[in-house]
Amino acid sequence: MTKIMLLGSGELGKEVVIALKRLGHTVIACDAYEGAPAMQVADGFEVFSMLDGDALDAAVAKHAPDIIVPEVESIRTDRFYVYEEQGIQVTPSAKAANFTMNRKLIRDLAAKDLGLRTAPYGYATTYEEFQAAVEKVGMPCVVKPLMSSSGKGQSVVKTPADMRAAFDYALEGSRGDLKEMIVEGFIDFHTEITLLTVTQKTGETLFCAPIGHRQERGDYQESWQPCAIDPGQLAECQDMAAKVTSALGGAGIWGIEFFLAEGAVYFSELSPRPHDTGMVTLAGTQNFNEFELHARALLGLPIPEIEQRYPGVSAVILASQEGVPHFSGLEEACAYPQSDVKIFGKPTTRPYRRMGVALAYDRSGEETMDAMRKRAAEIASKVKVH
């Protein structure tokens, strides 16, 4: 029996634990607060700041895991190299975790080392550097902290009047002690997709059907699979994904985001773990959902194929205020055919915090994607978070 330490215990981590437990393994879930979703289904848990290197070392020494699975950005990832030297497997790899937890490292790898097409960009730690970066890439532009999650600290600069607020918001939204931001030129794209990519210890790299998604406040609101895409652009996305995952190394699932524009594909971002937009796979759109794929890959179990079964949509259920959550409307939401609702089990709420997801799917293939998206949003609207 393998012992796995999960670093980050949100809703994505919870599904990873479920997948690992179904394969018969022991999981210790870690996060900065007690009662996190993954802790509710794990064999044990630890509560500490994973940015505290000493606390992280102590937890690893206490539990002696065979595999470490990072599920969030705010981790002292430099320690992963030491753990690998000690014989502990880091998923997908220490290099992958370090590079992808920092937008600067992954963007420079993609654009400079691998030559992938990206938006023009610059970095800033001071307001003067920020002004220079905005001048370099032009307006409108997107501003993001180098280390953040769920859209925190992200904004769009459309005019000079937006600049100061965007700079301050990026600093405020930065996770950990890294106070630096990336300024990206705006891409005139018609679709944003996630390409879930699976690398295996032994076996070929596999790709899920592309997932389209819509964001608000830098955070995903709905996703749908499969997303319509030109075959040539899909092949280009797969080629970019294979190059960047090969450069980072390791086995696991990767959520790789691309912008699709007229006649061009742009690499955007990469996460070395299940992706929030991939929650649409919980609707059974594939023979394995993204969490089951991640579990198999990190355990070294073979994945013969990824089969796209039928289309599906996910729509988030959001909180509107701070407090302890209570839900209503589940009976009404669950009455819809070919649908499902997942409540994450987060112990507290705050405005716009994801508390669950509504899923809609169509086994017949007769329902249009627009109709399915409307149905998923309607189901999500029935669930009220009090």
Residue 162's alpha-carbon distances to 139, 142, 167, 195, 346, in angstroms, are: 10, 11, 9, 32, 34
d(CA 244, CA 260): 18
Phi, psi (5° rounding) for residue 27?
A: -130, 130
Confirm whether 151 is a catalytic residue.
Answer: yes
- Active-site option among 103, 273, 296, 354: 354
Q: Which 8-state DSSP code applies to residue 210?
A: P
Q: Is 362 a catalytic residue?
A: no
Active site residue 100: no
Active-site annotation holds for 354: yes
**340 labelled catalytic:** no
Task: Choose the catalytic residue: 73, 192, 257, 340.
Answer: 257
Task: Please confirm, yes or no, whether 285 is among the known catalytic residues.
Answer: no
Sheet holding 26-31, edge to edge: 44-47, 26-31, 3-7, 67-70, 89-90
- State which H helix or E strand residue 211 sits in: strand 211-216
Spot the catalytic one: 74, 174, 277, 314: 277
Catalytic entry in 9, 74, 77, 149:
149
The DSSP line for 119-176 is: --EEEESSHHHHHHHHHHH-SSEEEEESS--TTTT-EEE-SGGGHHHHHHHHHHT--T
Marked catalytic residue, from 269, 284, 300, 381 = 269
**Lookup: tokens for 233:** 């652009």
Which strand (E) or helix (H) includes residue 31? strand 26-31
Q: Active site residue: 236, 276, 292, 362, which one?
A: 276
Tokens of 165: 């607020």
Is 26 annotated as catalytic? no
**Are 215 and 184 a contacting pair, CB within 8 Å?**
no
Residue 177 CB neighbours (<10 A):
9
Catalytic pick among 35, 44, 53, 151: 151
Helix axes 11-22, 290-299, angle to 10 degrees: 60
- The CA distance from 246 to 371, in Å, is 38
Q: Which residues are catalytic?
A: 149, 151, 257, 269, 276-277, 354
